[in-house]
Structure 1
Amino acid sequence: MQIYLGGNHELKLKQIFKGKNAIFYNPNKEIKQTEQYKLYKDFSDQGGEVIIIDTSGKKHSKISLNVEPKKKYESTLNKIDYVLTSQQQADNQDQNEMRQSLCDELNISLQFLTKLIDQKLKILPVEWLKACIQANNFIEDFQKYIHLNKIQQISKGEESKSQEATKSNKKRDLKDLDKKQVKGKQGKDDQEEEKKGSNSNDKDQGGEGKQKPLNNEIADQLDRLLKYYTTQGDRGRMFGYKRALTSLKLFNEPIYNIDQIDKVPNIGDGIRKKIKEFIDDGIIKRFEFIDTDEKHNTLKLIESVWGIGPKNAQKLYDKKIRTIEDLRKNQHLLTDMQKIGLKYHEDFIEKIPRKEVEQLLERVKQTAFKIFQDGEKHLQIQACGSFRRGRDFCGDIDVLITRTDGKSIEGINEKVVVQLEKEGFLKERLGALRKSATGSEGYQGICQLDKDHKFRRIDLKVYPADQYGYAILYFTGSGNFNVNMRTEALKLGYSLSDHGMHKLKDSKKKNIPCLKEEDIFTLLNMPFKAPNERDV
């Protein structure tokens, strides 16, 4: 087994990976060269083959092991089963950015990397190695480890919330005691406060209090700060604000004051202080500069090009890129996929009207129905994403396909894509056609309804019928809603994804078939939410 280690990490691998092969990438610059040599030699002495891939351009005179200079690493990557990255793997967008970043660092095409992933390559976060070290053993089933770890975090989170609630109740008791001891004018002020509180309670119970809930305004502020830290590449704060924003959007009670924020999970002290400042003053003074900050706005502009994430945007900014025109003049700095994103940039940033999505979907249906006998009867084709959630405008179109006659879906994707390309509907592919180990097929590309319409991003996804319920739930979204569903599944001991659900304790990972998404809500003992109720 060969393992690709991405990121800067000093790891004690001597016993854990005894006899296994490893490929090291970007040796830790904080470790002295002699210490690096000892680390690699210890590994090599245990029977492991060591290849150091270093993009820094520095020579390693004291390291006598095999060192590859910066070049295209396609031949090396062909030998690898695992890629280990320091980046988080959350939703699809994060994974796409991670893959693009890997392509940029190693000077390979996204199409080549996607092909490897479809065949055998697995991308794992650095937590996998940390888990191996902690367990002092090689962890084969890392997904199971992740799920069990999340369950522990959920349990700890609930315990923490319980402790915070106790503290909060004590504070309220002391506050009530102080109120009883205050007389005169302060007493009148307290009565006014109690009156306001009464109005809030009226609102909670469907009354006609005058105060407007602050949920949406607070969410807008958190989203603003999340986008800021995203452009800055601050992954720690990005993660914190993303969790806080997700929790707030899933919080069902109206919020009128800062005390109610204590009921929302995943709101740390720092974020709570900013929310309090916004509630009290209407602004967060520290971040007033965001809208006028030149670097922040430039990074946002660069990131608006499809295929360019925060890390790549910062690299381009460092190379004096400031406008879209600068990108067009310096396309040697871009990957093949980023060049395509730049080519269609003006069209991609414009949202697709709902009526046009309906027309695009109908075009895919007509072609698919003509290719397969009784296609209209046996093929189920539906647009997912924000369209299915009822939005009037969409960023792209996600089309989900399955068979309802019990036959295999194998080959449907390729036949539909090739025919739509012949008809001139599909213009360019963004990577190779995908086939997953679980049986699904996929396509990412660009389409155009006709010459009078703009170029649009389109994804085609073909799933077996017994996975269709999971797929349509996942690709309908929203991302925050999916996080909530997976969390509920974990609490009940299940692993939930776009292709199935199985018990965590089941070593065989036997999938529970679901033809309809309603079945998933039933299995998780959750009330069914219509697609238009999932836009959180």
Structure 2
Amino acid sequence: MPLKRPKAEPNPSSTSSDAVLRPSAKRRKSDVDPGTLHSRKVYILDAKLKPDEVAELVSLVDKAGAILVSEAKESEIVITAVGMRKRLERHIDWSVAKSKALVTPNWLRDSVQQGHALPCGTYAALASLHDTTAANCPTESDSDQDESSAQLSPPTSTPSEAKSSPSRANKEVEPAHIPENLLPPRVPLKTTPDLDHTVRFSCQRTSSLVCPNQELCEQLDVVRKLRELEGEERSSLSYRRAVASIKSYPRQLSKCDREEIARLPNIGTKISKMVLEYLENGNINEVEKIKASERYNALVLFASIYGIGPSTARNLYARGLRNLRDLEAFYEVNGPPVEGIEGPQSVEMDIQIALGLRAELAIKIPREEVELIHRTIMNELEVVQPGCVSMIVGGYRRGKSESNDVDIVFTHPDASKAIGLCTKLVRRLHEQGMVTHVMHLSSFHAHNALRTTHWDSLEKSLTVFRPPIPNPTRRRVDLIFALPETYWTAVVGWTGSTMFERDLRSVAKLQGMKFDSSGITRRHDSTLFYPRTEKEVFDMFGLPWIDPTLRNADA
């Protein structure tokens, strides 16, 4: 149904969708700004726009001397508040969208305010269409403007500009050879305020590193850990989800909060009783029994060794092993571990090395040392291949003061130079005496849209690293290399936390997509999508941006 052009004082209730919009034939000459959008064809997509906003934009188009058209394919400029491809495709064919300048409403507002058409790229409605929007942006010279007005200068920084282009705002000033989309933001993006803590998925909520109910979360996590070690995956996941819900609760619970507890997602009757027991007594009886159990403590010890999972831990316990001395005897840990960059030849050698280095690897890594390790590795990588970019991820990025290991994601703007870099870097670090052991080394392989294995298709090396400092302590350092198009999915995937990432994959699945560190895939046809920024990963799934320091959904 056509949307009639609003009168001078529009009535919002009279506005509807699918507009056929025309400028007023009675527009006064004094209202027209010849230097703005003279004779340009503009289409307004009213999805996500309020009626009074549509009326305002129609008025601005009229004032600027442009022509409003009823079909997107007839336009040169599409004005939209839609920021996601999936939603945009409900209204406009993607091939049409790629052939137009797709801008936010602020582009029109600022252009009219400044008296000339501003560059469209700065106001691109979708980050993935930034380049086509910039290329399709009509210039004043195209409108037969005077030569003096043909050069478009960018607007001064305004709040509306930053708001309309979050994917390109707050970036570092970069060297010429590094694309802007591969650089971290100068200032962390702010999380959406007042997120609802009762929503289903932890990737829709904020979770601080230490929450108001931290001790309760740690108590429930003991039960979760036991269930996981005993191979009870579904039960373990139930406790993990409950912990994530409590981590998001904004204040300290009390025994008077029965209704609040009932409103929290993923907390069933049994866990609810445990929560109330803790709030009344300060502890949970079942947790105390678990912590006193010889079996639980042995399984936790065994599973803390790299290469020993829950199943192996249970088998070791069944063989009669109970402590570290038993483990060392069983795996014949004698003398210095074997070194070399080819890595262990078997899982048992993995475990031998991890046992031999256990005392060192158990020492936490302070943030200052994490940064030192990162700088050192980047200096060596610059020798191997200049121009790489990287980001420290994992617990460090989520705000931990101390880390168990160091995770770093790397890429190079030239995809051909990123392939094979992991092995080259590890060899150099080994030659320099920094990498002493390689626990895992893999190269890039084809993206598997139906991947059921744990690992993604990125090139990676899990190493033991000796920092070049006096009296160094050896550290676990994981080196992850991504192609430039998968850099931001790798950053999101390796930042964590575990439950946050699991829920992110669940949200993607509900939308017919699959997310992992090596890309985003549409399930029905295996089409790959490559976000240009970290925020765009969230945008693609309709999720609010959540700062890395608020993704701590695990205990």
Say whether the fold is shared (TM-score over 0.5): yes
Shift, 1:332, TM fit: 5.2
d(CA) in 2 for partners of 1:463 and 1:379? Answer: 11
Kindly provide the amino acid, as one letter, of the partner of residue 240 in structure 1: S
d(CA) in 1 for partners of 2:295 and 2:542? Answer: 47
Name the counterpart of 2:368: 355
Residue 327, structure 1, aligned to residue 327, structure 2: yes
Kindly provide the amino acid, as one letter, of the partner of residue 498 in structure 1: S
Residues 214 and 368 of structure 1, relative CA distance in 2, 3 Å threshold = closer
Name the counterpart of 1:409: 418
| Contact persistence 2:374–2:392 (CA under 8 A) | yes
Name the counterpart of 1:217: 215
Moved more, 323-332 or 381-390: 323-332
| Contact persistence 1:408–1:464 (CA under 8 A) | no
Kindly provide the amino acid, as one letter, of the partner of residue 436 in structure 1: H
Matched position secondary structure for 1:400: strand
| Contact persistence 2:393–2:407 (CA under 8 A) | yes
| Contact persistence 1:397–1:459 (CA under 8 A) | yes
Q: Which residue of 347, 365, 370 maps to 2:383? A: 370
Name the counterpart of 2:20: none
Deviation string for 1:217-256 (max 9, x for gaps)? Answer: 3322211211233344433422321232233334557644
| Contact persistence 2:222–2:287 (CA under 8 A) | no
Residue 497, structure 1, aligned to residue 516, structure 2: yes
| Contact persistence 1:258–1:275 (CA under 8 A) | no
| Contact persistence 2:420–2:443 (CA under 8 A) | no
For 1:141-290, list aligned pairs within 5 A.
Answer: 215-251=213-249, 255-256=253-254, 257-290=257-290
Name the counterpart of 1:119: none
| Contact persistence 1:232–1:296 (CA under 8 A) | no
Name the counterpart of 1:521: 538
Name the counterpart of 1:419: 428
d(CA) in 2 for partners of 1:486 and 1:234? Answer: 21
| Contact persistence 1:226–1:242 (CA under 8 A) | yes
Deviation string for 1:347-386 (max 9, x for gaps)? Answer: 12111111111111111101110122xx1xx210221101
d(CA) in 2 for partners of 1:217 and 1:431? Answer: 35
Moved more, 227-236 or 303-312: 227-236
Shift, 1:525, TM fit: 2.7
Matched position secondary structure for 2:446: coil
| Contact persistence 1:430–1:445 (CA under 8 A) | yes
The count of aligned residue pairs is 320
Kindly provide the amino acid, as one letter, of the partner of residue 306 in structure 1: Y
d(CA) in 1 for partners of 2:308 and 2:293? Answer: 20
d(CA) in 2 for partners of 1:381 and 1:236? Answer: 36
Shift, 1:459, TM fit: 1.2
Q: Which residue of 369, 383, 394 maps to 1:385? A: 394
d(CA) in 2 for partners of 1:433 and 1:421? Answer: 16
Matched position secondary structure for 1:265: coil
Matched position secondary structure for 1:246: helix
| Contact persistence 1:387–1:394 (CA under 8 A) | yes
TM-score (structure 2 length as normaliser): 0.54
| Contact persistence 1:222–1:241 (CA under 8 A) | yes
Deviation string for 1:14-60 (max 9, x for gaps)? Answer: xxxxxxxxxxxxxxxxxxxxxxxxxxxxxxxxxxxxxxxxxxxxxxx
Residues 423 and 293 of structure 1, relative CA distance in 2, 3 Å threshold = same
| Contact persistence 1:400–1:462 (CA under 8 A) | yes
d(CA) in 2 for partners of 1:522 and 1:240? Answer: 28
Name the counterpart of 2:293: 293
Kindly provide the amino acid, as one letter, of the partner of residue 494 in structure 1: M
Shift, 1:430, TM fit: 1.1
Shift, 1:486, TM fit: 2.5
Name the counterpart of 1:66: none
- Higher relative contact order, structure no. (Cα contacts within 8 Å, ≥ 6 residues apart): 2
Residues 497 and 433 of structure 1, relative CA distance in 2, 3 Å threshold = closer
Name the counterpart of 1:533: 550
Gaps of 5+ in 2: 1-198, 201-210, 334-346, 448-456
Shift, 1:490, TM fit: 3.1
Kindly provide the amino acid, as one letter, of the partner of residue 515 in structure 1: R
Q: Which residue of 454, 457, 461 maps to 1:443? A: 461
Name the counterpart of 1:112: none
Aligned-residue identity in percent:
26
* Bigger Rg over Cα: 2
Kindly provide the amino acid, as one letter, of the partner of residue 347 in structure 1: E
More helix by percentage? 1
Deviation string for 1:280-332 (max 9, x for gaps)? Answer: 33222233223332232222222222221222222222222222122222215
d(CA) in 2 for partners of 1:399 and 1:369? Answer: 15
d(CA) in 2 for partners of 1:407 and 1:305? Answer: 37
Shift, 1:498, TM fit: 0.9
Name the counterpart of 1:345: 358
Residues 238 and 526 of structure 1, relative CA distance in 2, 3 Å threshold = closer
d(CA) in 2 for partners of 1:308 and 1:393? Answer: 23
d(CA) in 1 for partners of 2:472 and 2:325? Answer: 23
d(CA) in 2 for partners of 1:346 and 1:452? Answer: 15
Residue 466, structure 1, aligned to residue 479, structure 2: no
d(CA) in 2 for partners of 1:420 and 1:385? Answer: 21
Kindly provide the amino acid, as one letter, of the partner of residue 239 in structure 2: Y
Kindly provide the amino acid, as one letter, of the partner of residue 520 in structure 1: V
d(CA) in 2 for partners of 1:488 and 1:397? Answer: 28
Residues 523 and 401 of structure 1, relative CA distance in 2, 3 Å threshold = same
Kindly provide the amino acid, as one letter, of the partner of residue 511 in structure 1: L
d(CA) in 2 for partners of 1:502 and 1:316? Answer: 40
d(CA) in 2 for partners of 1:490 and 1:230? Answer: 24
